[in-house]
Amino acid sequence: MTALMTRPTPRALRRTALLAVAGVLLATGCGGGGHSDEAAGRTPRPRASTPAAAPGLPGMPPLLDPHDLYAADRPNALSPVVKDFPSRVYVPNTESDTVSVIDPKTYKVVETIPVGRQPQHVVPSWDLKTLWVNNDLGHSLTPLNPATGKAGKPVDVHDPYNLYFTPDGKYAVVMASMDRQLVFRDPHTMAVKKTVPVSCHGVNHADFSPDGRYFIVSCEFSGELLKVDTAAMKVTGQRKLPFQGAMPQDVKISSDGKTWYIADMMAHGVWVLDGDKFTEPRLMRTGKGAHGLYVSRDSKSMYISNRGEGTISVLDLPSRKLVKKWRLPDGGSPDMGGVSADGKVLWLSGRYDAEVYAIDTGSGRQLARIPVGSGPHGLAVYPQPGRYSLGHTGIFR
């Protein structure tokens, strides 16, 4: 989000002004001779009961696999809504007030779209039909049509640093960082439905629990986390991170739905958290300026961009261990991004270097460095697999 002290961005200068349940199936075994009770003419033995799944948020599409939150995100598993959209990478340039559009086949910018002041993220809508450009200091959202690449009329929205959608598709949630608010809005018109003031500083990123009933929010400027009841639209928990000067960034839940990861650019790693219990997290060091978190198409790996040292750490999700670190050959400042539809390329913005990186997810090899506008930030790879979007640069389930 903000720049490191040695290379501040406009948003960093404002900093001083802001203080699935994994059910276990217990099937009965066969008789000693390998025949079923029914075949042997005996009364069938009662089967061991399977724990009932906790009810999800009403209206939320059920998970395809309660053991894997990202089961709908398999390579090229595109929804009928997006299957005919051209494949593009949309890059918001915070200091140029534009969106660069990259053709991933040629690694070239094919269009530059003027938008509002300080665009921070390009966010897919819950229904997958619209891309919303968050013009933070322009106090507006610019809708992009991913079928045509054309921009629509901006919608007035105050302080839209980031944008999420509740899993039932009922609300958009604007992360109003300067205003210190979570603003629940109509997901289509963006009309305000409820404003939730918060006592922390710099709300910016979030993710939702497997059942959709709560979400966890990072507060960058005060080094805190919030736990929010989705249906009640109410903060139910608040926790200070145990690191002096902590600056939490991206938030992402593991594929099994049990563990939360929160990148921290000043603690230089990710916090590992039990979201249900919301107890004190532990820190896993990854690299200087840890920032963005992205899950592989097979749900087995998480890519962690370390913006301050030009590297990407790879976390093995089943074992919860760091297994690789890829280094950009000419340095760089990898920030936010996403994974290609086929899962073969990780796309990241180079926040300080006016460029975008394409990285081979099999080898970690840099495929391209593409010049874009100044201050590229929350780029969106689109379309991506999934049935619906929870927001940010693309959290799909």
Q: Between residues 340 and 23, which one has the greater pLDDT?
A: 340
Topology of domain 10-19+59-382, CATH: Methylamine Dehydrogenase; Chain H (2.130.10)
79, 54, 52, 59: which is closest to 397 by C-alpha? 79
- Whether the pLDDT of residue 8 is over 80: the answer is no
Query: How many Å apart are CA 146 and CA 143, to the nearest integer?
Result: 9
Looking up tokens 């891309």 gives: 131
- The model's pLDDT over 184-218, given as tens digits with 9 standing for 90+, comes to 999 999 999 999 999 999 999 999 999 999 999 99
Helices (H), 43-197: none
Banded model confidence at residue 20, pLDDT cuts 50, 70, 90: very low
Q: Are 378 and 392 in contact (CB under 8 A)?
A: yes
Query: Which H helix or E strand runs over 5?
Result: none
Looking up tokens 């890059």 gives: 91
Both tokens of 108, joined, read 């070239």
Task: Calculate what percentage of the chain has a pLDDT beyond 90.
Answer: 86
Query: How many Å apart are CA 166 and CA 152, to the nearest integer?
Result: 23
Query: Which H helix or E strand runs over 12?
Result: helix 10-13
- Whether the pLDDT of residue 392 is over 90: the answer is yes
Q: Are 239 and 225 in contact (CB under 8 A)?
A: yes
Both tokens of 287, joined, read 């690299």
Provide the pLDDT for residue 243: 98
- The model's pLDDT over 33-62, given as tens digits with 9 standing for 90+, comes to 333 333 333 333 333 333 345 678 999 999
Task: Calculate what percentage of the chain has a pLDDT beyond 70.
Answer: 86
Torsion sign across C-alpha atoms 179, 184, 187, 188: negative
Provide the pLDDT for residue 13: 39
Provide the pLDDT for residue 380: 98
152, 161, 214, 216: which is closest to 189 by C-alpha? 152
Provide the pLDDT for residue 54: 61
- The model's pLDDT over 55-110, given as tens digits with 9 standing for 90+, comes to 789 999 999 999 999 999 999 999 999 999 999 999 999 999 999 999 999 999 99
Q: Where exactly are the structural domains of the chain?
A: 10-19+59-382
Provide the pLDDT for residue 326: 98
Both tokens of 334, joined, read 């990898």
- Whether the pLDDT of residue 323 is over 50: the answer is yes
Q: Are 28 and 48 in contact (CB under 8 A)?
A: yes
Query: How many Å apart are CA 94 and CA 372, to the nearest integer?
Result: 11
